[in-house]
Chains A and B, each alone.
Chain A
Amino acid sequence: MSSSQPDIPAPLTNLKFQYTKIFINNEWHDSVSGKKFPVFNPATEEKLCEVEEGDKEDVNKAVAAARQAFQLGSPWRTMDASERGRLLYKLADLVERDRLILATMESMNGGKLFSNAYLMDLGGCLKTLRYCAGWADKIQGRTIPSDGNFFTYTRHEPVGVCGQILPWNFPLLMFLWKIAPALSCGNTVVVKPAEQTPLSALHVATLIKEAGFPPGVVNIVPGYGPTAGAAISSHMDIDKVAFTGSTEVGKLIKEAAGKSNLKRVTLELGGKSPFIVFADADLETALEVTHQALFYHQGQCCVAASRLFVEESIYDEFVRRSVERAKKYVLGNPLTPGVSQGPQIDKEQYEKILDLIESGKKEGAKLECGGGPWGNKGYFIQPTVFSNVSDEMRIAKEEIFGPVQQIMKFKSLDDVIKRANNTTYGLSAGIFTKDLDKAITVSAALQSGTVWVNCYSVVSPQCPFGGFKMSGNGREM
């Protein structure tokens, strides 16, 4: 039926990057400083184009526009809630129309497999927009039976101007995860896409205008974290900031919010997510799912299952077959059909991952396959599997964000729960078992914002997503 996936077309070969400026008030602006920054293709290390570099002054301009659009009596504030929903639906239709352009862009700029970009990222974008569109006129307050001669009711009002700082691993999807609920509730936004991947958000800016959102409702300021990002987090006239990225930067943002105007903060940060495979699991499925849970998008997922706990009795076989699976990758340009692994996003990430792989070797984990770079251009890393990993090694504690799988052994349920929870992170977790009791008990015991049972990375707009502990504050979707 209509839930089936569309056929995948060939990526565009002549993609032009025509939207490279700052988007404020439904208009394109040069940066106040006159600076631009280069944007690269991580598969070839070639420069794709230059983009206007936003900084504090540009953020100020964007916030002023967003504030203006949020004024009482403005077209946006007086619009029917159902009409806000209509605009989001219309935006979804336009994104669907430009799906091929956006998927190609996402693949070229983000090093993401084209098929994944087309099906998963863009599919998620459409669902997110349509889901949030439906909420617009269903955000209901309550009437409350208060004591005495009083009549009480609540109104659920938009927060105001929302700052949103995006990551580079799912550039467009995270953009829509942020703007769709914000707009559905009637806020205005100032968005800073990641400096590595600003292009798809800027393309969608034109669609936002085409859909008919009033000027100033969505503003996009490409730029760097320490400049434009910092300006957003510490801005006195931004009411809320949402950030997806590293835990390290997340802490800076919450600190800046505290030091400035106590703006509301939601954070979706790092993870070191445990995946627990019990001996009674369907092994075939568990192998493939745990593999994808780590290697999907070159390991560059906040939910990456980078601590795989396998029950003792099946450990050796599980490792052997995981290595077989990891060796099947074809590395190369993510636009090329047949390629199954693309490059890491940039040199910094690439070097960090290689450093962690070295630490694994030094600290005594057993390197089963991979373990080094690949090719002579682009930021490619061989799919890597470590066995005999122990909990105190760096590769078992730190977020790697690369194609590096750690497989650990466990003996008892209580033991594995304790070990799985022994981290400052708490974003997601996976369990593989056919035992109903184990599934429910472990789900309840894990300190994690999401628990997947016999599946992984099943993220849908209907379900909330976010972290326990230092993996985040608040929930998205």
Chain B
Amino acid sequence: MATTNGAVENGQPDRKPPALPRPIRNLEVKFTKALSFQKLDGHIPRARDALSSGFHTGVWGECALTCPAGARLLCFDPIRCRLACFLGNVIKMVSTSSFPERASFPIFINNEWHESKSGKKFATYNPSTLEKICEVEEGDKPDVDKAVEAAQAAFQRGSPWRRLDALSRGRLLHQLADLVERDRAVLATLETMDSGKPFLHAFFIDLEGCIKTLRYFAGWADKIQGRTIPTDDNVVCFTRHEPVGVCGAITPWNFPLLMLVWKLAPALCCGNTVVVKPAEQTPLTALYLGSLIKEVGFPPGVVNIVPGFGPTAGAAISSHPQISKIAFTGSTEVGKLVKEASSQSNLKRVTLELGGKNPCIVCADADLDLAVECAHQGVFFNQGQCCTAASRVFVEEQVYADFVRRSVEYAKKRPVGDPFDVRTEQGPQIDQKQFNKILDLIDSGKEEGAKLECGGSAMEDRGLFIKPTVFSEVTDTMRIAREEIFGPVQPILKFKSIEEVIKRANSLEYGLTAAVFTKNLDKALKLASALEAGTVWINCYNALYAQAPFGGFKMSGNGRELGEYALTEYTEVKTVTIKLDDKNP
């Protein structure tokens, strides 16, 4: 008999897969500010307290999404959100009406919601339908300044955040994970609406990664240890691993929430405060996370979220003199600008996770079924919009023809369509600009003499959808073999010897990931050490774990995210040396 906690009577963990989640339909996203009920002095009640004491006590949070009668309600207030999503009720809004309803999402600073200083807003679109979802307050330099000020205040010596026990920091991250898990369906729905990724991918991959990453770093919070060092002379020497300070984070649109959590979790785990700019294409899940951060009880100013554009808000963060560290995930081109701005301002620490043109090497002795499938998923996953995309598949001569044939079969079967449809594997590209760039590269492939095996154009009847495309007979000099495509395009190249493929795989300025398919132990380890890449997957692909570091060699990045290695990016080492009268043995 199953118990409520998922254990069954004999104590075996309940391994049944969860029921297929359902997205939240008919979502009209509209923002309402301040529905307050008997405001308790500065105290935000826990969701369960408010629930148990009825609807009319407690603070309803400052912002909510509303919807017309009959449709599902999605709101930024997690309490109501849970009721709406999980009980299927539509709750009558009782507003004190002291604040006008607005149609745009606000900026999150100091655990409060703000309008942009300029009064400007920008629209965020659903790339599947090209419809506007809603408007968002557009942050710029003055808003970033405000956020940095809040983050600095929260980081002051003696502040609640700085005085918090490390173990309690970990607890907060854990509780945040619990809330993300509670609101998983909401977040996955928002992610799909805003980015076009298939809902089930958002639910099972993005959200799973978020929850695991939060829990992993929650555990590190009280395990970040300095050392005592046996120095010469009459001194005692020890190190303290201290937080860096205010950390800026600029996140991409391909895994909006996951990439934010990759930055937020280690930063908070180490005791930093953060100012985040989510990508302008996909700001919604980050803002929703803001409401959870507040609900969980992080002190004000610890996390601040300023939606906006790269050249304005992003540039303000990279060049801000009071930001001590910046983490950016995005293109190599912008990564260079971020590092340059850091140097020109205050030499802030920089970690970059940039582009890739990742080799996937298939040796003739490999399990070909596995290799074909992994290479296929490796390049087509998330509409090809992955920095890890396997966009140079090198296949050993003997199995080349077979590999190409089977890859084409796979690509032709890939279901493209509405990302809310459970059968869909591929949704739309993120925006017109990316769409155009991908089609341009596809054309270059055709022009430069690669053999188009399938796809090669947009879907005729829809907006930003591109047919899964496979090119064979690709050579190293073609643009599709050198440039990051970030789309559903698989270029397949041929190789003859291991030494040759190592040289070719390493010939680019990128070095993010590489994959090897072989059953031979020597070959596997030889390639693993020879490839110039931050990650090498052997007989697998996109095997990313919170426990294992991730980042790039060469121009694919600086520094590492995830794993214990991430902690070094978010801590400063302080060496304390104390002179003594005598030598201590």
Residue of B nearest to A213 (CB): B11
User: Do residues B525 and A151 form an inter-chain contact, with CB atoms below 8 A?
Assistant: yes
Complex Cα gap A421–B504 (Å): 67
Tell me whether A29 is interfacial, beta carbon within 8 Å: no
Tell me whether B168 is interfacial, beta carbon within 8 Å: yes
Complex Cα gap A444–B236 (Å): 10
Tell me whether B226 is interfacial, beta carbon within 8 Å: no
User: Do residues A75 and B223 form an inter-chain contact, with CB atoms below 8 A?
Assistant: no
Tell me whether A214 is interfacial, beta carbon within 8 Å: yes
Stretch at the interface among A52-60, A126-134, A368-376: A126-134
Closest CB in chain B relative to A330 CB, distance in Å: 32
Question: Which of B6, B167, B223, B581 meets A127, CB within 8 Å?
Answer: B167
Say yes or no: A441-B5 contact (C-beta < 8 A), given A3-B168, A131-B167.
no
Say yes or no: A3-B215 contact (C-beta < 8 A), given A90-B5, A130-B170.
no
Residues facing B in A66-103 (CB within 8 A) are 75, 79, 81-83, 85-87, 89-90
Q: Which residues of B contact A298 (CB under 8 A)?
A: none
Complex Cα gap A90–B181 (Å): 15
Stretch at the interface among B157-165, B331-339, B356-364: B157-165
User: Do residues A462 and B222 form an inter-chain contact, with CB atoms below 8 A?
Assistant: yes
Tell me whether B477 is interfacial, beta carbon within 8 Å: no
Stretch at the interface among A135-143, A185-193, A358-366: A135-143
Closest CB in chain A relative to B243 CB, distance in Å: 16
User: Do residues B171 and A2 form an inter-chain contact, with CB atoms below 8 A?
Assistant: yes
User: Do residues B525 and A212 form an inter-chain contact, with CB atoms below 8 A?
Assistant: no
Tell me whether B568 is interfacial, beta carbon within 8 Å: no
Question: Which of A1, A82, A127, A209 meets B7, CB within 8 Å?
Answer: A209
Tell me whether B14 is interfacial, beta carbon within 8 Å: yes
Give how many A residues have a beta carbon under 8 Å from the other chain's beta carbons.
40
Tell me whether B321 is interfacial, beta carbon within 8 Å: no
Closest CB in chain B relative to A308 CB, distance in Å: 24
Q: Which residues of B contact A436 (CB under 8 A)?
A: 578
User: Do residues A1 and B168 form an inter-chain contact, with CB atoms below 8 A?
Assistant: yes
User: Do residues A138 and B547 form an inter-chain contact, with CB atoms below 8 A?
Assistant: yes
Closest CB in chain A relative to B318 CB, distance in Å: 32
Say yes or no: A82-B547 contact (C-beta < 8 A), given A138-B219, A440-B584, A441-B584.
yes
Say yes or no: A210-B7 contact (C-beta < 8 A), given A133-B219, A215-B12.
yes
Closest CB in chain B relative to A13 CB, distance in Å: 25
Question: Which of B164, B216, B525, B580 meets A2, CB within 8 Å?
Answer: B164
Say yes or no: A441-B582 contact (C-beta < 8 A), given A82-B547, A90-B5, A138-B223.
yes
0/1 per residue, B168-191, Cβ < 8 Å to A? Answer: 101110100000000000000000
User: Do residues A1 and B163 form an inter-chain contact, with CB atoms below 8 A?
Assistant: yes
User: Do residues B12 and A214 form an inter-chain contact, with CB atoms below 8 A?
Assistant: yes
Tell me whether B38 is interfacial, beta carbon within 8 Å: no
Closest CB in chain A relative to B209 CB, distance in Å: 12
Tell me whether A437 is interfacial, beta carbon within 8 Å: yes
User: Do residues A26 and B11 form an inter-chain contact, with CB atoms below 8 A?
Assistant: yes
Residue of B nearest to A216 (CB): B11
Q: Which residues of A contact B64 (CB under 8 A)?
A: none
User: Do residues A131 and B222 form an inter-chain contact, with CB atoms below 8 A?
Assistant: yes
Complex Cα gap A81–B218 (Å): 15
Closest CB in chain A relative to B130 CB, distance in Å: 40
Tell me whether B3 is interfacial, beta carbon within 8 Å: yes
Q: Which residues of B contact A210 (CB under 8 A)?
A: 3, 5, 7
User: Do residues A212 and B168 form an inter-chain contact, with CB atoms below 8 A?
Assistant: no
Q: Which residues of A contact B172 (CB under 8 A)?
A: 2
Closest CB in chain A relative to B151 CB, distance in Å: 18
User: Do residues B13 and A75 form an inter-chain contact, with CB atoms below 8 A?
Assistant: yes
Complex Cα gap A436–B580 (Å): 8
0/1 per residue, B202-231, Cβ < 8 Å to A? Answer: 000000000010011011111100000000
Closest CB in chain B relative to A396 CB, distance in Å: 27
Tell me whether A211 is interfacial, beta carbon within 8 Å: yes
Q: Which residues of A contact B223 (CB under 8 A)?
A: 131, 134-135, 138, 462
Complex Cα gap A86–B165 (Å): 21
User: Do residues A440 and B580 form an inter-chain contact, with CB atoms below 8 A?
Assistant: yes
Complex Cα gap A210–B14 (Å): 11
Q: Which residues of B contact A211 (CB under 8 A)?
A: 5, 7
0/1 per residue, B281-309, Cβ < 8 Å to A? Answer: 00000000000000001010000000000
Residues facing B in A441-472 (CB within 8 A) are 441, 444-445, 461-462
0/1 per residue, A113-149, Cβ < 8 Å to B? Answer: 0000000000000010011011111101000000000
User: Do residues A3 and B580 form an inter-chain contact, with CB atoms below 8 A?
Assistant: no
User: Do residues A135 and B219 form an inter-chain contact, with CB atoms below 8 A?
Assistant: yes
Complex Cα gap A210–B11 (Å): 7
User: Do residues B215 and A462 form an inter-chain contact, with CB atoms below 8 A?
Assistant: no
Residue of A nearest to B169 (CB): A2
Say yes or no: A441-B12 contact (C-beta < 8 A), given A1-B299, A2-B297, A462-B222.
no
Q: Which residues of B contact A437 (CB under 8 A)?
A: 580-581
Tell me whether B96 is interfacial, beta carbon within 8 Å: no
Closest CB in chain B relative to A192 CB, distance in Å: 21
Say yes or no: A134-B170 contact (C-beta < 8 A), given A26-B11, A440-B236.
yes
0/1 per residue, A410-453, Cβ < 8 Å to B? Answer: 00000000000000000000000000110011001100000000
Q: Which residues of A contact B166 (CB under 8 A)?
A: 462
Q: Which residues of A contact B581 (CB under 8 A)?
A: 437, 441
Complex Cα gap A133–B216 (Å): 10
Question: Which of A2, A81, A89, A209 meets B11, CB within 8 Å?
Answer: A209
User: Do residues A134 and B164 form an inter-chain contact, with CB atoms below 8 A?
Assistant: no
Closest CB in chain B relative to A282 CB, distance in Å: 20
Residue of A nearest to B297 (CB): A2
Tell me whether B10 is interfacial, beta carbon within 8 Å: yes
Q: Which residues of B contact A215 (CB under 8 A)?
A: 10-12
Tell me whether B585 is interfacial, beta carbon within 8 Å: yes
Complex Cα gap A167–B215 (Å): 33
Q: Which residues of B contact A131 (CB under 8 A)?
A: 167, 222-223
Complex Cα gap A131–B221 (Å): 9
Residue of A nearest to B167 (CB): A127
User: Do residues B160 and A1 form an inter-chain contact, with CB atoms below 8 A?
Assistant: yes
Q: Which residues of B contact A2 (CB under 8 A)?
A: 164-165, 168, 171-172, 297
Q: Which residues of B contact A137 (CB under 8 A)?
A: 216, 219, 546-547
Complex Cα gap A441–B163 (Å): 29
Residue of A nearest to B521 (CB): A151
Q: Which residues of A contact B174 (CB under 8 A)?
A: 89, 130
Q: Which residues of B contact A461 (CB under 8 A)?
A: 167, 222
Residue of A nearest to B170 (CB): A134
User: Do residues B222 and A82 form an inter-chain contact, with CB atoms below 8 A?
Assistant: no
Complex Cα gap A257–B557 (Å): 53
Closest CB in chain B relative to A211 CB, distance in Å: 7
Q: Which residues of A contact B11 (CB under 8 A)?
A: 26, 209, 212-215
Complex Cα gap A444–B235 (Å): 12
Complex Cα gap A90–B11 (Å): 14
Question: Which 10 A-B pairs have CB atoms at the shortest separation, nearest pair first?
Answer: A134-B219, A26-B11, A212-B7, A444-B584, A3-B165, A2-B168, A212-B13, A3-B168, A209-B11, A215-B11
Query: Can you list 22 residue pairs at the A/B interface with Cβ under 8 Å?
Result: A1-B164, A1-B299, A2-B165, A2-B172, A81-B547, A82-B546, A82-B547, A85-B215, A130-B167, A130-B171, A131-B167, A134-B219, A134-B223, A151-B525, A210-B5, A210-B7, A211-B7, A213-B11, A437-B580, A440-B584, A441-B580, A441-B584
Given pairs A2-B171, A82-B546, 12 additional interface contacts (CB within 8 A)? A75-B13, A82-B215, A82-B547, A89-B215, A90-B5, A133-B219, A134-B170, A134-B218, A134-B222, A151-B525, A437-B581, A461-B167
